[in-house]
Amino acid sequence: MSIGQGLIQEFEREAATTRRVLERVPADKLSWKPHEKSMSMGQLALHIAGTPGNVTELVSMDSVEIPQFSQPEATSSDEILSAHDASVAKAKEYLAALSDESAMSSWKATAGGKTMMEVPRIGIIRTILLNHWYHHRGQLSVYLRLTDTPVPSIYGPSADENPFAA
């Protein structure tokens, strides 16, 4: 089994959990922000939905110039869920085909021609594709709580959902 194939089980489980969180995003609160410096709920949800596919695109190259990021706001729940499903499919396809040699090969990010980071590709997959994704999902769960939206179970019971209760 390759490194990429070994990540798929975790990725699929986390993708399903992430989808449950995204399904809770209230369509009437997409422009809501907990603070002026924060992304809106619609921006954050769309960022989470697109992260796997977007990171897959970057990590599939050996070197990338760090792009300028802009974060559009979702206009509907359907847009968020469709973006998530397409993004997850793209990342699963990439991980399934990822060889150990490619996973361990060097990946570089530059800005203005200057190397900002050079690490094994698996490091970026682990840090940005997965951990970064989970981090933002946690942020979104706080947004849900602050808008009185029921928070789904993520790694165990939430105050609103207990999958272990009989």
For residue 11, tell me if it sits in a domain: yes
In a domain, 16, yes or no: yes
Residue 76 belongs to a domain: yes
* pLDDT attached to residue 52: 98
| Domain presence at residue 51 | yes
> Residue 95, Cβ neighbours under 10 Å: how many?
23
What total of structural domains would you count in the chain? 1
Below-70 pLDDT ranges, the chain: 166
Reduced 3-state DSSP string for the chain: CCHHHHHHHHHHHHHHHHHHHHHCCCHHHCCCCCCCCCCCHHHHHHHHHHHHHHHHHHHCCCEEECCCCCCCCCCCHHHHHHHHHHHHHHHHHHHHHCCHHHHHCEEEEEECCEEEEEEEHHHHHHHHHHHHHHHHHHHHHHHHHHCCCCCCCCCCCCCCCCCCCC
In contact, 75 and 42? CB cutoff 8 Å: yes
Question: In which domain, by residue range, is 50 found?
Answer: 3-146
Residue 117's CATH number: 1.20.120.450
In a domain, 161, yes or no: no
Q: What is the pLDDT of residue 108?
A: 96
Model pTM score: 0.95
pLDDT in tens, 13-56: 999 999 999 999 999 999 999 999 999 999 999 999 999 999 99
Q: Is residue 58 assigned to a domain?
A: yes
